[in-house]
Amino acid sequence: MPEGARRLAAIMFTDMVGYTALGQRNESLSLALVEEQRRLIRSILSKHNGREVKTIGDAFLVEFLSAMDAVRCAYDIQRITREFNISEPVEHKLHLRIGVHLGDVVESEGDISGDAVNVASRIESLAEDGGVCLTRQVYDQVRNKFDLPLTSLGPRSLKNLSSSVEVYKMIMPWDATVAISLPEHDTRRIAILPFANISPDPADEYFSDGMTDELIAVLSKIKGLRVVARTSAMRFKGEKATAGRIGEELKVGSLIEGSVRKSQNRLRITVELVDTHTEEQLWNETYDRDLRDVFSVQSDIAQQVAKALELRLGVRESSALRQQQTQSPEAYSLYLKGRNRWNLRSEHDLNRAIKYFEEAIGKDPRYALAYAGLADCYSILGYYGYRRASVVSPRAKDLAEKALSLHENLAEPHASLGQVLMNYYFDWKRSGSELDRALELNPSYATAHFWRATHYISHGRFDDCLAEVKKAVELDPLSMIILTDAAKDLYLARQYDEAIDQYTRSLQVDPNFPIAHKGLAEVYAQKGMNEEAILEIEKAIELSARSVFILDDLGYIYARAGRRDDAIKVLEDLDRTAADEYVPAYGRVVIHAALGDKEKALAWLEKAYEERSFLVYLKVDPAFDALREEERFVKILEKMGL
């Protein structure tokens, strides 16, 4: 480009809050912090195609070809700064604010100038400590494409500018309470209630359930809709609840409900779309069709719902609505039964789910979703230590890849593969890519969101994790495994009071879910609430029929409570059990660590690494705090790529 020529660019200004005052108090510290800030920011710029134009004291002037690159870079700088600050003393913490603008610039000898540069520098000063402000020009480029909310601060008068500029503020994940608030009334947040079976034969209920689930799957393909997952919607099966009450409980703005009557090869399907706030009917239809036309009915319903909610479908979405994963109602019914069992997570239920998925594959050998379900069963059996991970996890990987070979554009097998690559293979890069691909294909897939949250927290990215698990809860607000996972993530982020609140809320949904009682016991133990911890872990053991996965936590809780003899007795029980069945090494790591037996804890940790048993949280779990400075512990983290 010729010297002095104009071009459009996204401009970012960064600035250290309180730098001048700090320099007057402690010049050497202020200079050291500037160098730390420069090291941190420079490590991020290249990842987002940013060009460092210059530094001006404590400020950076950076140029980007894309507004989206600039906004993502600004967020990344504040996220990494916040993570840096967690372990730093107060006086060494970095405090940054950032402004981003899009406009014409003029380049001269590598420097840039013009009104766009001036605007970026002015709006940077409007940002809060740890915040990002951007102009309307940037907002128009990134709206509906950037994950975080952007809220208008209104028109602002800026120095040396004749007209006001509308400024937007980026809402950071850590600015909102994560545990766990749901959105206000939004008609595009939708739940499909279980369709009523009014067929002459009660045995045809599987068909009405299948209709419900197929609509959930189909509507999830529409960009702009947030569809509540099956787990939460099915809890209202058979209930006589008002649209308003269901909307309040699921935090949805719209409901789809209806009925199915099947008689031989004929179908009558009635369906209506209801606004939960006003309980007004937005659309309704009755379909009288042949059985073979059921999939076209589902596609038509999805298109009519999109029209009623004023959503415009693209070519790809319209094509996706017509795709079906199986033409076998029996295979689909078996798949649904398998997913229902898989969600319960007990060893017995996982084994039942395997049988259902295998039968579904028997009905339709090219049914990719059934292979993905089977992969998830084997992966979770290894994750919880119900079976040796070295035996079942490679099987899970093969099944997920088989599913993708049959249908590469399904979210579920990408998520399945991402999960096993994370938990067993510690292949963080590929795992993250697979989970991201799953969410790209289906942003309403709650399971992929909470596995992505696990991936984030395994690396200590607490804010990203909590933002992701919040999305999972919004999509499946009555799923016990997702509710308890949200609580566990808060626990791992050392937000103990918030974790207790979230576990308590999850137990209001299902007071007999043992994993929730187990997690609550761990939080109480960290807070020194030993009596409460023991009561909760004993309840978990009772509800789980003395599952080894929960039994080993009893020893940990006893050790934390100072009941050394009781903890040792649990270790002896585990050793006896291991003579007849597989007992993961992980449990004995945390018991010995809590007892202060570091050498034994590290020896068992090395065995746990060989087994690849439940180590995904090793970097952040408070249970391992006593071992963090040990060389053998650090080496295992390095082997895991953490």
- Taking only the tens place, the pLDDT of each residue in 350-388 is 999 999 999 999 999 999 999 999 999 999 898 887 888
**Torsions phi, psi of 103, nearest 5?**
180, -175
Do the Cβ atoms of 232 and 194 come closer than 8 Å?
A: no
Q: Does 3 score more than 70 pLDDT?
A: no
Q: Is the dihedral of CA 453, 456, 459, 461 positive or negative?
A: negative
Closest Cα partner for 100 from 131, 55, 54?
131
60-86 as b/e: b if 16+ CB within 10 A: bbbbbebbbbbbbbbbbbbbbbbbeee
Do the Cβ atoms of 540 and 521 come closer than 8 Å?
A: yes
Per residue in 621-637, pLDDT tens? 999 988 988 999 999 99
Do the Cβ atoms of 206 and 329 come closer than 8 Å?
A: yes
What does the alpha-carbon distance between residue 622 and residue 640 come to, in Å, rounded to a whole number?
18
What does the alpha-carbon distance between residue 590 and residue 601 come to, in Å, rounded to a whole number?
7
What does the alpha-carbon distance between residue 152 and residue 135 come to, in Å, rounded to a whole number?
9
Residues of the chain with pLDDT > 90: what percent?
Answer: 31
Q: Does 181 score more than 50 pLDDT?
A: no
Q: Which two tokens stand for residue 399?
A: 């099944």
DSSP annotation of 272 reads E
Residue 564: pLDDT band with limits 50, 70, 90: very high
Per residue in 474-487, pLDDT tens? 888 888 888 898 99
Poorest-pLDDT segment among 150-159, 181-190, 201-210, 397-406: 181-190
Strand, coil or helix: what is 201? coil
Mean pLDDT across the stretch 517-537?
A: 91
More confident residue, 444 or 77: 77
The vertex-188 CA angle with 474 and 248, nearest 5°, equals 55
Q: Could you tell me the CATH superfamily of domain 189-324?
A: TolB, N-terminal domain (3.40.50.10070)
Pinpoint the alpha helices (H) of 442-529: 446-458, 462-475, 480-492, 496-509, 514-526
Query: At CB < 8 A and 24+ separation, what contacts does 56-59 make?
Result: 57/19, 58/15, 58/16, 58/19, 58/34, 59/13, 59/14, 59/15, 59/16, 59/121, 59/124
The answer to whether the predicted template modeling score (pTM) of the entire model surpasses 0.75 is: no
Q: Does 68 score more than 90 pLDDT?
A: yes
Mean pLDDT across the stretch 502-521?
A: 88
Q: Where are the domains of the chain?
A: 6-175, 189-324
Residue with tokens 């503020």, as numbered in its chain: 169
What does the alpha-carbon distance between residue 490 and residue 516 come to, in Å, rounded to a whole number?
13
Domain formed by 6-175, architecture: 2-Layer Sandwich (3.30)
Q: Does 322 score more than 90 pLDDT?
A: no
The vertex-80 CA angle with 75 and 85, nearest 5°, equals 125
Cross-strand partners of 170: 150
Do the Cβ atoms of 105 and 47 come closer than 8 Å?
A: no
- DSSP character string of 22-89: HHHH-HHHHHHHHHHHHHHHHHHHGGGT-EEEEEETTEEEEEES-HHHHHHHHHHHHHHHHHHHHTS-
Q: What is the pLDDT of residue 160?
A: 66
Residues of the chain with pLDDT > 70: what percent?
Answer: 91
Q: What is the pLDDT of residue 183?
A: 47
> Considering the chain, what is the average pLDDT of its residues?
84
Q: What is the pLDDT of residue 311?
A: 60
More confident residue, 582 or 300: 582
More confident residue, 603 or 281: 603
* Radius of gyration, alpha carbons of the chain: 27
Q: What is the pLDDT of residue 180?
A: 46
What does the alpha-carbon distance between residue 618 and residue 624 come to, in Å, rounded to a whole number?
7
Residue 293: pLDDT band with limits 50, 70, 90: low
Q: Which two tokens stand for residue 618?
A: 């090793």
Closest Cα partner for 285 from 229, 332, 205, 215?
215
Residue 176: pLDDT band with limits 50, 70, 90: very low
Q: What is the pLDDT of residue 1?
A: 47
Would you give the end-to-end CA distance of the chain in angstroms?
44
Q: Which two tokens stand for residue 177?
A: 């309470």
Q: Does 310 score more than 70 pLDDT?
A: no
